Amino acid sequence: MNRAPVPGGGLSLAALACMLLAALAGSGCTERAAAPNRSQQVDALFAPLRSGVQPGAAVMVIKDGEVVHRAGYGYANLDALEPMQADTMVRLASVSKQFTAMAIMVLAEQGALRYDDPVSRYLPELSAYPGVTVRHLLTHTGGLPDYYDTIDTGTSLPTNADALRLLGEMAAPVFPPGERFEYSNPGYDMLAPLVEAASGMEFAAFMKERVFAPAGMTHALIHDHRPPVIAHRALGYEPEGGGFVLDDFDPLNGIVGSGGMYASLEDFLAWDEALYGSSLVSRDTIDKAFTAMRLNDGSTTDYGFGWRIDDYRGQRRLRHGGSWVGFRTHIARIPAHRFTIVILSNRGDFQPETYIDPISDIYLGAATP
């Protein structure tokens, strides 16, 4: 990994936060004016990312099916001075989970699997985890152990098949399935080989043919252990020594399911529209993804199938963040207002979730109680 600092434009998180607060104060004054330009107010929030040469973010706001703000800030590639744009491909990290979950939903609707089937029916290597179902993996309630610090990365880049074998050998459930919520990347990593077992297709091919294409996501792809060529790809960076260093590679980059997907803002516009329709699965099936999991004791979590569930000013909100190497991403949807925010960043010190409420306030503050 290149550790040479890339000079220029680096801002600390404290400086970004300070400028964010100043921008918010300005947006408040603007909103009291006769005709506020909301897109310019969003620009003000991200203005620090346009200072000098630094990695940045691609940001999109959708209201009632129309893009009301779309812009890139900073650079996707510091060496080549390629700016962040609407077609820049960004590693989604854990935002990938909602797409993995959709693959399971597609298979469930066609009858290839059921949510309450034991995982070992499709992955016999996991027979040491009795009672763990497909639904448990989707909702982070399966109790699979974390293998990331155990898997061998010294001889070759590990794959999902390697992770599956290792989990089978570990045979050490953390808790009984359904007992509690515990965020589990290994659980989602196991959904990828499960898709392969139930469909007879490789995971990347299934995602392209059965999820991305029907949704109209023309650029989205899976980056597995056979790295594809990705045009207009953002590189991940971390701040160091007053500049930035490349942080784009990890030995676990080839394991997919919990992450491993690349997409652009253009892809997310198509994805958001697909979630309001039935081009992928029925409305009833989509609603299952947005329903909180009920635990064994009857209590509910704040998680459905690849989506966290909370609220904004009393309206249900569906959201998810992602963090891996030098990428930080977030999507938030408020279906009652047909309102969506997507933030895709290629800098490891960025916190996209902190921008969700301020942007929502700009567009929805006067429209919600």
- Which helix (H) or strand (E) segment holds residue 320: the answer is strand 315-324
As a whole number of angstroms, the distance between CA 339 and CA 367 comes to 12
Q: Are 174 and 144 a contacting pair, CB within 8 Å?
A: yes
- End-to-end distance of the chain based on CA atoms, in angstroms? 49
- What positions carry a catalytic annotation? 94
The first and second tokens of residue 1, run together, are: 């990994």
Per-residue burial over 195-218, b if 16 or more Cβ lie within 10 Å, else e, is bbebbeeebbebbbebbbeebebe
Let me know the angle formed at the C-alpha of 281 by 276 and 285, rounded to the nearest 5 degrees: 85
327-334 and 315-324 strand pairing = antiparallel
Which is nearest to 199 in space by CA: 134, 272, 104? 104
Which is nearest to 248 in space by CA: 63, 117, 55, 69? 55
As a whole number of angstroms, the distance between CA 222 and CA 227 comes to 9
Q: Are 230 and 253 a contacting pair, CB within 8 Å?
A: no
Single-letter amino acid code for the residue at 111: G
As a whole number of angstroms, the distance between CA 2 and CA 238 comes to 11
Q: Are 115 and 134 a contacting pair, CB within 8 Å?
A: yes
As a whole number of angstroms, the distance between CA 114 and CA 105 comes to 9
The first and second tokens of residue 303, run together, are: 């998680």
The first and second tokens of residue 335, run together, are: 């279906």
